[in-house]
Each structure stands twice: as structure tokens, then as C-alpha cells.
Structure 1
Amino acid sequence: MHQGVLYAFMAAALFGASTPFAKLLIGQVPPVMLAGLLYLGSGLGLSVWYGVRRLQAHDKQAGTGHLVAADLPWLGAAIVSGGIAGPMLLMFGLAQTPASTASLLLNMEGVMTALLAWFIFKENYDRRIVLGMLAIILAGVLLSWQQMPEFGVPWGPLAIVAACLCWAIDNNLTRRISASDAVQIASIKGLVAGSVNLGLALMLGAQLPGLQKIMAAGLIGFCGYGVSLVLFVLALRHLGSARTGAYFSIAPFVGAAISLLLLNDTVGLLFWLAAALMAVGIWLHLTERHEHPHTHQELAHTHSHRHDQHHQHEHDFEWDGSEPHTHQHRHLPITHSHAHYPDIHHQHSH
């Protein structure tokens, strides 16, 4: 299995698993407060991880690959869009929208992520990828379809769609900096989004829960939001936005399976139909083979890599031959043909 696909599946599994555990706290912690604690747990946990890793760095290559000044506008826009505006719009929408409608509308994130990736950020796609995405989207619709949606006043549903658009923008902006340190990106996102959401909850009059609930929310946030986001960024690095979003769409099925085992939830015919559609969509993506002659323009960047066909360069420092390793390196122009994804090295036009 391709490394990027594995990252996406692992990210989806962790995020999906966090949902039923977070549901156990929803009746005890206000939603906005819970969102803040989950994000903060993510940010604080990853900051510790990042700090320990820096302290353990011994060689010259370690410590490189971190965010640079050129990355900050992309990261800032991603945080504002996905970490601040998205959750606020979602909370506003949930307050005015039936749960069945809200869960149905949340599937728009994958759709919008793909549309932005294809038509704004120019990721390549073909009929097979489009059909796979449609199968995955339909699976999500069936999974969340509890009853016929009742939209009522339109502002709530519009706010939820706007939240999905914010997260889709976040996904595509984060892809632009996915070659940088994934732990650093995710920790900053968690700290900023957590602080803003927690501050909003306190402004709205919410009270901090007991220490036990805070610790539980923090642990769920670290695993389901933090580590999951690190893996999601790594998947973006290898697959691009649209394909990562497609594989990440298995998250609701992971949550449903855990709910079935731990919370004694039941599933009906729609769940199994959705699972079959999801399997078809993922199969279409997994069996994709995109291959054609393409040209790599000269490029200098920093990320973890091995000396493969795309990384044939000299080192201006003493290197012990360890793989993978991280340092700034330059790609010279090259034209060749092989199967590839729209990763950080393949962002050419077609």
C-alpha cells in the first residue's frame, strides 16, 4: 500500500475513533468548551512531542524541515479558516439545524475539498477518481441519513455549508506547506484553535469542567485531533488534497464500528449499503494508475526523504548514510515517466 494512503487511513481511524469517545462528554461539557479542550489537548500534546524531539536531535540534519517565513501566511490563513471560522460557523449552524440535516451537510467538506483542489489548485483528476469520489460521497450521505432533512430557517444549514467550505480551504492551504514539519504545523493549529474556542466558550458563560473531564478531553484531542492531523498532513504531502480527503472519508465508519461495539448502537440496511459504496470508491482510488511523461522544474525545499529517483543530490555536510534524512535540497529539472500522485513533487499541469 502506498505510504500516503496508509497515513490517510491511520488519520481517519484515529479521528473516527475519537467521535464516540467525545460523545460520552457532550452531555457533560458544553459543545464549544469541548471543542476548545479537544483542540488544546491536541496542541499541548504535540508541543511536548515537538519539544522532546528537538532536545533529542543530535545531528546536523535534525531540526531542519521546520516552518519558514514563507509558510506563515499559508498556515495563518489555514488556522483562521479551519480552526476558528469553521468551528464558530458549525456551532451557529447546529443551534438552528436538526441533527439529521447537520450530519448530512457535513459530508460537503469532502466535496468542497475535492472541487477546490481540482478547479482552484489544479490537482489532476480523471474519470476513475471522480467516480470513486462520487461513491464515497454517496456512502457518507447514506450513513448520515436518519430521516428526510427538514431545513426550516435556511441560516443554520447555510452556516454548516460555510463551515465545510472553511475546512475545505484549510485542507488545501495546508497542502501548500505539507513539506514542512507536520508535528509543528499540527501543534500550532491546535494551540491557536483551542485557545480561541476555549475563550469563546468562556465568553458565552460556560464553566470549566472538573479536572478528570479536562484530562479525558485532552487525551481524546491529542489522539483524535493531534496525531490524526499529523498523519493527515503527511498524507497531503504524498497524495494531494482531494485523494487525502477521499481516504479520510472512512472516519465515520470507524466511529460507527466503535459505537456498535462500545455503545451498543445498532446499524441497519443503509449502513451496509454505505459500506459497500465506500469500498467501491476506495477500490477505484487504490487501483488508480496515473502515468505519463512529465517535467520537474527546478525546486528547492526541505522535507524527510530518501535518495530515490527524485532525490539524487550531493550533501554539503557530513552524512552518515542514514535513511530517511531531512535537509534543504535542490531538485534539478528532469523529464521522465512513471506512476505518480499529485504530491509535493508532482504539481505539474496536464
Structure 2
Amino acid sequence: MTINPGITLALLSAILFGASTPVAKLLLGFVDPWMMAGLLYLGAGAGLAIVHLCRASLRLPATEAPLRRADMPWLGLVILSGGIGGPLLLMFGLSRTDAASASLLLNLEGLATMGIAWLWFRENVDRRLLVGAFAILAGAMLLSWQGRAALDWGALLIAGACLCWGIDNNLTRKLSSADPVQIAMLKGLVAGTVNLLLAFASGAYLPPAGTVVAAGGVGFLGYGVSLALFVLGLRHLGAARTGAYFSLAPFVGAVLAVVVLREPISMTLLLAGGLMGLGLWLHLSEQHEHDHAHDAMEHEHRHRHDAHHQHAHDPNLPPGEPHTHWHRHAPLVHRHPHYPDLHHRHGHG
């Protein structure tokens, strides 16, 4: 069975982001949470800006569609929800809870992403995905409960961050046909600058140069590269399923927190991890195949000439694949395993 490339991209994105959580927790001992959010996103934006400039200086052929003016409102909302709201809530939440529990609580991002995709954007979510989602939610609630008649404030703040990122992920789906490096670069630079200015305004100080470099490096890999991979995953899988595969991130973070930070392994942590592992397995083992119709559509994205791309070329277009240009899809009816990607956002009976 051929593995959809979106699965690999989403899992790599999850591993990078999951590994960044315990490291960010470690750095929070030396950096104000608001300042940390700014440094992480500036590191992501600056690192990807270097990649973008190197690509331009080497005059590599453009294989990705650029962002257009019509994309800017969506990008603005993505930056507001995922680049400013999400990291701020996460940093304040991390300062109030241990890294292992925080890492597992980040599974709520996948749940929020899937819920919004299902209820608002009408992506197909079957019974298997729903059962997996409830298993993840049960594990997160187990971690959040502190034996009192209230939830832990740190856990609630992290849950709020996950809701922001769930909104962000679904809005980013609108941009997923465009260059992922450009999207992640602009998000990082704008969100990082805003968070940094807000941190200074609140009285925070810039940490030592070594800490700034460390935070920037964590941001580049855990936020910048991870986001670029996530955008590519959205292109292949849709928001709900990319968010589901991204649920691996908290497990990576929890393992690193136990191994690197020497945090204790509690029964609550094991039970919550087992529930979340069950949910992740249900998501990973999903199969979806039926007869479906493609309506005529026109758009621009990186593609090869496969079953969904059988169009003529203008003689002025450069040869070779993959390539990017505005193209038209003729109506088509066929059957094969698929996900709600760029070409399979149809309704279900």
C-alpha cells in the first residue's frame, strides 16, 4: 500500500514541534513567557527568510505558487490566531505546569482542528476518527484534572492555545496551495515582531545572547520548519486528518521531558498517554474509499501530471515536473482511496 506523502509530512511536523515543547520549558526558566513567544516566532521567520533568500540567490526554479493579494486576509487571521494568541497562551501555560503533562495536553490541538474542520468547514469525519478524538480528549482531561472541583489554570491556558491553533490550522488550509516557506516565514516575522514589542511594553528584558540564539534555533525547527511541513500536509490531507496525525507531537514532547528533564513518570501520565495512543492509532489506521465526483475547477499549486492533472500546457511554460501554473480541472468521476485534499473537498451522503 502506498503511503500518502501528507502523512509523512504531518508526522515530521509533529516530531519537530513536539521536541520543541520541553526545550521551551527549559528556557522559560531564563526568559519571560511573552518574550519567549516572540523569540520563537522570530527565530522561525528569520531562519525561513534565510532559506527564502538562498533559494532566490541560487535562482532555483519556482515550483510553488506564491501568495496572492486575495490570500492576505486569510494570512492576517492565521497570524493573529496561531502566531500571537497560540504561543502566548502556551508560554504562560507552560510556566504553570510540568513539561510532560503540557506536551500531552497539546493533543487538544488535533481535536480542536478536527472539530472546527468537521463542524464549520464540513470536512468528512467518520466514526473511527470521532472515537479516536474522544480517546484523546479523555486523556487530556485526565491530565488537566487536579483532584479539585476545578481544572488547573496551566492546563486551561494550554487548552486555549490549542483552540487558537485549531482555528489557525483550518484557516491555513485556505492557503495550502501556496508556497509553505513563504507562509511560515511571513507568519514568523510578523507574529514574532508583535509578540516581542508586546513583551518590551510589559517590562520584559531581552535575555543573554546565548539564550536568544537557543530560542531562535528552537523556533526555526519547532515552529518554522514544522509549520512549512504542516502546510504541505494540509495540501494532501485536509485540516482534520493533518491535525490528527499531528497528535504525535505531544508524545514526542512527553518522552523528551521524562528523559531529558528527569520529570517523574506518574500513573496519570501513563493512563493519559495510553488513551491518547489509542486515539492516535485509530486516526493512523483510517481507510477512506468510495465513488466520488470532481467538479470543474481552476487553481494554482505545485503538481505532477497524475490522474487529477490531465491538462494541456501553454508552450511558454517551462518543461519538467513538478511545476506550478494556473490550470483547469475538467469534471471527473472515479474511485480510489483519498483524503479531503485540494482535489477532494466534496460532500458525503
Common fold: TM-score over 0.5: yes
> In the TM superposition, what whole-angstrom CA distance separates every residue of 1:272-300 from its partner, at most 9, and x where no partner exists?
33343333323322222212221112222
In structure 1, what is the equivalent of residue 193 of structure 2?
Answer: 195
Displacement after TM superposition at 1:336 (Å): 1.3
In structure 2, what is the equivalent of residue 35 of structure 1?
Answer: 37
With over 3 angstroms needed to count, the CA separation of the structure-2 counterparts of 1:87 and 1:258, relative to structure 1, is closer
Displacement after TM superposition at 1:22 (Å): 1.5
**Equivalents in 2 of 1:265, 1:94: separation in Å?**
14
Q: Which moves more between the two structures, 211-220 or 104-113?
A: 104-113
Say which SS state the counterpart of residue 99 (structure 1) adopts: coil
**Equivalents in 2 of 1:163, 1:20: separation in Å?**
16
2:321 to 318, 323, 327: 323
**Equivalents in 1 of 2:230, 2:148: separation in Å?**
31
**Equivalents in 2 of 1:326, 1:290: separation in Å?**
28
Say which SS state the counterpart of residue 334 (structure 2) adopts: strand
Is the 1:151–1:157 contact (alpha carbons within 8 Å) kept by the matching residues of 2?
Answer: no
**Equivalents in 1 of 2:206, 2:323: separation in Å?**
43
In structure 2, what is the equivalent of residue 78 of structure 1?
Answer: 78
> In the TM superposition, what whole-angstrom CA distance separates every residue of 1:88-123 from its partner, at most 9, and x where no partner exists?
55567788xx638x9487654333222210011010
Residue identity opposite 1:174 in structure 2: T
In structure 2, what is the equivalent of residue 12 of structure 1?
Answer: 14
**Equivalents in 2 of 1:201, 1:149: separation in Å?**
33
Stretches of structure 2 lacking an aligned partner (at least 5 in a row): none
Asked if residue 211 in structure 1 is aligned to residue 209 in structure 2, the reply is: yes
1:272 to 270, 273, 276: 270
Is the 1:140–1:249 contact (alpha carbons within 8 Å) kept by the matching residues of 2?
Answer: no
> In the TM superposition, what whole-angstrom CA distance separates every residue of 1:104-156 from its partner, at most 9, and x where no partner exists?
876543332222100110100111111122223333444x34732564899x8
In structure 2, what is the equivalent of residue 25 of structure 1?
Answer: 27
Displacement after TM superposition at 1:159 (Å): 6.4
In structure 1, what is the equivalent of residue 131 of structure 2?
Answer: 131
**Equivalents in 2 of 1:137, 1:153: separation in Å?**
16
**Equivalents in 1 of 2:223, 2:185: separation in Å?**
10
Q: Which moves more between the two structures, 337-346 or 255-264?
A: 255-264
For 1:62-101, what aligned pairs fall within 5 Å after superposition? Answer: 62=62, 64-88=64-88, 99=97
Displacement after TM superposition at 1:231 (Å): 0.9
**Equivalents in 1 of 2:140, 2:321: separation in Å?**
39
With over 3 angstroms needed to count, the CA separation of the structure-2 counterparts of 1:181 and 1:137, relative to structure 1, is same
Q: Which moves more between the two structures, 1-10 or 283-292?
A: 283-292
Is the 1:107–1:141 contact (alpha carbons within 8 Å) kept by the matching residues of 2?
Answer: no
**Equivalents in 1 of 2:157, 2:33: separation in Å?**
16
In structure 2, what is the equivalent of residue 148 of structure 1?
Answer: 147
Is the 2:234–2:341 contact (alpha carbons within 8 Å) kept by the matching residues of 1?
Answer: yes
> In the TM superposition, what whole-angstrom CA distance separates every residue of 1:56-75 from its partner, at most 9, and x where no partner exists?
3354xx26501011211111
Displacement after TM superposition at 1:27 (Å): 0.9
Say which SS state the counterpart of residue 193 (structure 1) adopts: helix
When normalised by structure 2's length, the TM-score is 0.88
Residue identity opposite 2:31 in structure 1: V
Q: Percent identical across equivalent pairs?
A: 55
In structure 2, what is the equivalent of residue 333 of structure 1?
Answer: 331
Is the 2:106–2:249 contact (alpha carbons within 8 Å) kept by the matching residues of 1?
Answer: no
For 1:41-56, what aligned pairs fall within 5 Å after superposition? Answer: 41-56=43-58
**Equivalents in 1 of 2:15, 2:97: separation in Å?**
23
Say which SS state the counterpart of residue 300 (structure 1) adopts: strand
**Equivalents in 1 of 2:263, 2:336: separation in Å?**
46
Is the 2:251–2:273 contact (alpha carbons within 8 Å) kept by the matching residues of 1?
Answer: yes
In structure 1, what is the equivalent of residue 219 of structure 2?
Answer: 221
Residue identity opposite 2:320 in structure 1: S
In structure 1, what is the equivalent of residue 242 of structure 2?
Answer: 244
Say which SS state the counterpart of residue 341 (structure 2) adopts: coil
Q: Which moves more between the two structures, 189-198 or 105-114?
A: 105-114
Displacement after TM superposition at 1:84 (Å): 2.2
In structure 1, what is the equivalent of residue 117 of structure 2?
Answer: 117
Q: Which moves more between the two structures, 80-89 or 206-215?
A: 80-89
**Equivalents in 2 of 1:257, 1:91: separation in Å?**
19
Stretches of structure 1 lacking an aligned partner (at least 5 in a row): none
**Equivalents in 2 of 1:343, 1:88: separation in Å?**
30
